[in-house]
Chain A
Amino acid sequence: MKALLVEIRREFWEHRALWMAPLAIAVALLLAAAAFGHARLEINDRPVLQNGESPPQLYQYVLFGSALPLFLAAAILASAYLLDCLYAERRDRSILFWRSMPVSDARAVLVKLAVGLLIVPLGTYALAALTSVLVSAILVVRNHGLVIGGASALSWNVLPWLQLQGELLYGLIAALLWYAPFAAYLLLVSVWARRSPYAWAFIPPVLLVIFERLEFGTHYVGQILDRSLTELLHLAFRFDAPAFSASAGTGAAPDAAVNVQFSGGADLPALTPLHLLADPRLLCGLLAAVFMTSAAIWLRRSRDEA
């Protein structure tokens, strides 16, 4: 266990952006909450919310919106890390030092995969949850909650907070499973590329799409890639009626009232784990991830780097 912990820490020593960037974003969010905790959203000079309601849905959406930059940053950082980690150790020849230690190649590769696919996302999740609590606390202290257009939209509300955290955790686990083959692909490119792993990771798929379009006039590859990257949302969640509906006056009626209505009920998307798990593409993706990770281990073990 002690060895595993130091192997994980070693990844964060090398790739400091993995923890520094999310932390910087979290601090920025806290500062933003302190500085801009009173927002007045208006359409045609009229406040969006007029009736002083404090809907839990809006509270959840504001929290989700504040967590989004953290998750986006984590996704970019984790992808860059996975693409770089096994290449960097060969580029600076430090692989000869790492391999002089009693750490197997399988273990070294799996630790890197775990950092990129599990530890960074889950750490970001914990950071986002903590940030949302602190943001709420700052807003409560500052002005009894985030006030949007006259309505207190973000005051501490434990049940909606827990509901949102549950949804986020579920979404994160679904994403880890769905995007595991992408993580393994980046790791494989990282160990395989002799130079420019970024180019090797992204140019071949783009060339394949262009080639298919020019040669056959079809775009199946593009569609497969597009669906692979975006379809998770529709497999893991079911989106019912929108929580909010808004209508605003047009230019012809400049004084028309702005109406914001709440539909009530289940406003966060419904979870559909069985739908996701039953999709054969998930299993295929996980098998591909196992295959590509095994290939990465084999390449690290058998490649002559000196």
Chain B
Amino acid sequence: MATNTESRQITPAGPIIEARDLSKRYGSFVALDRVSFGLRAGRIVGLIGRNGAGKTTALKAILGLTSYEGSVRVFGLDPARARNALMRDVCFIADAAVLPRWLRVEHAIDYVAGVHPRFDRKRAEAVLASTDIRRHSRIGELSKGMITQLHLTLILAINARLLVLDEPTLGLDLIYRRQFYDTLLRDYFDQERTILLTTHQVEEVENLLTDVLFIDRGQVVLDATVDELAGRFVQLNVAAGKIDAARELQPFHVRTLLGKTIMLFENRPAASFAGLGEVRTPGIADLFEAKIQAATP
């Protein structure tokens, strides 16, 4: 149960999520290994990693859905102890398949309206009326895209401060995926709300994100704002005959594409690349791939 004292611990200026030395093991498998990170309010953070990297485990720790070692605070609360109170401020979509197939759409609205004090029923009804979803339908009768639409409608009608999305568009076609993110930006995001999402489809979200958190084999390999990336990372499309000179600047990743050599550098002054080729800021997908490969022994 949230107390007033607990509520007053929330400090908008500080991180709304703070993890310190977060560790989680499944038998001998280390899912998270002393991970530390912080998230501020009003951001859209992409938690990006390969399968089994530890993304979902980190989300579950944040949501109080799994036990862990270390410390996690969300809005100043311990998610493992105060999940119930936390769920008033936090919404999450694990994936579209978790809405029960036997539930009718109207009952889903009734249920959330009944148990969630911050649910705006009128808003949900209005959004639902603009879709093809019928109120009397059972969820099992809806397409996967419609189920996701319904789930998002329910969640967006909750006045929550943190939205956690774990591969929310997995299995959806391109149209639904785009609609999903459009709706998210249009109807949910503002400067006080925060979105934390994981996805495999990095290209689809890279224009949305304000922050990235790359995670690999249970460890954070990059924690930065998107604005910081431009000053910190450089992608050099190496000019012919300049490969050796470019290598002397110690790129952390090198690849060849259609006969061109592309190198990525971290924390190198822009002047260093003069005359070595075309310089640009790497995309998040390219950076992710490079960081993960660089971290792989």
Contacts and interface: CB of A to CB of B under 8 A. Distances in A.
B67 interface: yes
Contact of A94 (B100, B114, B116): B100
Contacts of B114: 2-3, 5-7
Nearest to A304: B66
Interface in B127-164: 151
Interface string A1-40: 0110111011001100000000000000000000000000
Contacts of A93: 94, 97-98
Interface in A102-130: 102-105
Interface string B74-93: 00000000011101100111
Contacts of B100: 14, 89, 92, 94, 97
B193 to A, nearest CB: 16
A14 B98 contact: no
B197 to A, nearest CB: 15
A96 interface: yes
A104 B83 contact: yes
A102 B107 contact: no
Contact of A13 (B83, B101, B104, B115): B104
A97 B63 CA distance: 12
A100 B91 contact: yes
A302 B83 CA distance: 12
B107 A10 contact: yes
Contacts of A5: 114
Contacts of A2: 114
B112 A101 contact: yes
B102 interface: yes
Q: Which of A10, A96, A104 counts the most chain B CB atoms within 10 A?
A: A96
Interface in A253-306: 302, 304-306
Contacts of B63: 100
* Chain A binding surface SS class: helix
Nearest to A305: B65
Nearest to B113: A6
A238 B136 CA distance: 52
B115 A102 contact: yes
Contacts of B99: 94, 97
B98 A102 contact: no
A99 B116 contact: no
A265 B297 CA distance: 91
Nearest to B107: A13
B253 interface: no
B56 interface: yes
B115 A306 contact: no
Contacts of A7: 114-115
A95 B115 CA distance: 15
A99 B107 contact: no
Contacts of B187: none
A5 to B, nearest CB: 7
A96 B101 contact: no
Contact of B102 (A9, A14, A306): A14
Contacts of B115: 3, 6-7, 101-103
Interface residues of A, number: 27
A1 to B, nearest CB: 10
A306 B97 CA distance: 12
Q: Which of B65, B67, B88, B110 counts the most chain A CB atoms within 10 A?
A: B65
A93 B139 CA distance: 14
Nearest to B140: A92
A271 B63 CA distance: 52
Contact of B98 (A6, A94, A105): A94
Nearest to A301: B83
A92 B99 CA distance: 9
A89 B117 CA distance: 23
B103 A14 contact: yes
B235 to A, nearest CB: 36
A92 to B, nearest CB: 6
B88 A99 contact: no
A6 B56 contact: no
A97 B108 CA distance: 11
A104 B84 contact: yes
B110 A102 contact: no
B121 interface: no
Nearest to A7: B115
Q: Which of B60, B87, B111 counts the most chain A CB atoms within 10 A?
A: B111
Contacts of A103: 84, 87, 115
A105 B91 CA distance: 17
Given A14-B103, A100-B63, 16 more contacts: A3-B115, A5-B114, A10-B107, A14-B100, A93-B98, A94-B98, A95-B98, A96-B65, A99-B65, A99-B87, A100-B93, A100-B94, A102-B84, A102-B117, A103-B87, A103-B115
Interface of A: 2-3, 5-7, 9-10, 13-14, 89, 92-97, 99-105, 302, 304-306
Interface of B: 56, 60, 63, 65-67, 83-85, 87-88, 91-94, 97-104, 107, 110-117, 151, 166
27 contacts: A2-B114, A5-B114, A6-B110, A6-B111, A6-B114, A6-B115, A7-B114, A7-B115, A10-B107, A13-B102, A14-B100, A93-B97, A93-B98, A95-B98, A96-B65, A96-B98, A99-B65, A101-B87, A101-B115, A102-B84, A102-B117, A103-B84, A304-B60, A304-B66, A305-B65, A306-B56, A306-B66
Which 8 residue pairs across A and B have the least CB separation, nearest first?
A: A6-B114, A94-B100, A102-B87, A96-B94, A104-B84, A96-B98, A97-B98, A304-B66
